Structure 1
Amino acid sequence: MIHFISEQKYFGNTLLDYLISIGIIIVLVLTIRVLKGIIQKRLKAWIENTKIIIDDVIISGIEKFIIPLLYFCAFYFGLTYLDLSTSVAKIFHSALVIIVAFFIIRFTVVITHYVFKYYWEKRVGDKESMRNLRGISTIVTIVVWGLGLLFLLDNLDFRISAIITGLGIGGVAVAFAAQAVLSDFFGYFVIFFDRPFQVGDFIIVDDKMGIVENIGVKTTRITSVAGEQIVFPNSRLTSSRIHNYKQMERRRVLFTIGVTYQTPLQKLKEMPGIIKNIIENIDDAVFGRAHFQSYENSSMIFEIVYYITGSDFNKYMDIQQRINFRIYEEFEARGIERPTLLKLHS
Structure 2
Amino acid sequence: MDFTYLNNTLESWAIAFAVLLGATLAMHCLRRFALHKMQARSQRTETLADDLVARMLRKTYLLIMLTLAAYLASLVLELADRQRLVVSRIAIAALILQLAIWGDTLLRAWRDHAYVSDAPRKASRTIVCFMARLALWVIAFLMVLDNFGFNITALVASLGVGGIAVALAVQNILGDLFASLSIMLDKPFEIGDFIIVGDVLGSVEHIGLKTTRLRGLGGEQVIFANSDLLKSRIHNHKRMETRRVAFVLRVAYGASDTQLARVPVLIREVVDAEPMAAFERAHFFNYGEWSLNFEVVYHFQSPDYIAHMDTQQAVLLEIYRRFEREGIRFAHPLSIVRMADGEVPPRPQAVAPAASFRH
Alignment TM-score, normalising by the size of structure 2: 0.68
Match of 1:308 among 300, 304, 307: 300
2:274 maps to 282
State whether residues 212 and 222 of structure 1, in contact with CA within 8 Å, keep that contact through their aligned partners in structure 2: yes
* Deviation at residue 237 of structure 1 after TM alignment: 3.9
**What CA deviation, in whole Å up to 9, does each residue of 1:109-129 have, x standing for no partner?**
2234556888x79xx955435
Match of 2:66 in 1: 71
8 Å Cα contact 1:204-1:242 kept in structure 2: yes
Q: Distance in 1 between matches of 2:28 and 2:99?
A: 18
> Are 1:250 and 2:250 matched, yes or no?
no
**Range moving further from structure 2, 235-244 or 165-174:** 235-244
- Structure 1 SS opposite 2:103: helix
**Distance in 2, Cα, partners of 1:68 & 1:59:** 19
Cα 1:220–1:302 change in 2 (3 A) is farther
Once residues 116 and 345 of structure 1 are traced to their aligned partners in structure 2, the CA distance between those partners, rounded to angstroms, is 46
| Residue 264 (structure 1) aligned with residue 277 (structure 2) | no
> Which residue does the alignment assign to 1:344?
357
Helix, strand or coil: the match of 1:223?
strand
SS at match of 1:265: coil
How far apart, CA to CA, are the structure 1 residues paired with 2:274 and 2:123?
41
Separation of aligned partners in 2, 1:56 and 1:129: 22
- 1:250 and 1:308 in contact (8 A); partners too: yes
Q: Which residue of 2 aligns with 1:211?
A: 203
Q: 1:45 to 1:274 in 2, by over 3 A?
A: same
- How much has 1:336 moved relative to structure 2? 3.2
1:197 to 181, 189, 204: 189
Once the two structures are superposed, residues 108-149 of structure 1 have per-residue CA deviations (whole angstroms, 9 ceiling, x without a partner) of 12234556888x79xx95543566434422221122122222
Shift of 1:56: 4.9
Secondary structure at 1:306's aligned position in 2? Answer: strand
| Contact kept in structure 1, 2:67 and 2:90, CA below 8 Å | no
Map of 1:106 onto structure 2: 101
Q: Where does residue 61 of structure 1 map in the other structure?
A: 56
1:75-121 deviation per Cα after TM superposition (whole angstroms, max 9, x unaligned): 688899899xx9xx98x999877655443211112234556888x79
Give identity over the alignment, percent: 29
1:139 and 2:152 aligned: no
State the secondary structure of the residue aligned to 1:248.
coil
How far residue 31 of structure 1 moved from its aligned partner, in angstroms, is 2.9
Q: Report the RMSD for the aligned CA atoms in angstroms.
A: 4.7
1:305 Cα shift? 1.0
Give the letter for the 2:254 counterpart.
Answer: P
Looking at structure 2, the residues matched to 38 and 171 of structure 1 have their Cα atoms a distance apart, in angstroms, of 43
- 1:42 to partner: Cα distance: 6.9
Unaligned runs of 5+ in 2: 333-350
Matches within 5 A, 1:174-189: 174-189=166-181
Q: Separation in 1 of the partners of 2:143 and 2:241?
A: 52
User: How many pairs were matched up?
Assistant: 328
Shift, 1:34, TM fit: 2.9
Contact 2:243 2:301 in 1 (8 A): yes
| Cα offset, 1:290, TM superposition | 2.4
Q: Which amino acid aligns with 1:340?
A: A
Q: Which residue type is aligned with residue 221 of structure 1?
A: R
Alignment check: 8 A CA contact 2:203 2:214 kept: yes
Worse overlay, 23-32 or 248-257? 23-32
Report what 1:233 is aligned to: 225
Distance (Å, rounded) in 2 between the aligned partners of 1:171 and 1:284: 57
User: How far is the alpha carbon of 1:299 from its aligned partner?
Assistant: 5.5
Measured after TM superposition, the shift of residue 329 of structure 1 is 6.2
Identify unmatched segments of 5+ residues in structure 1.
none
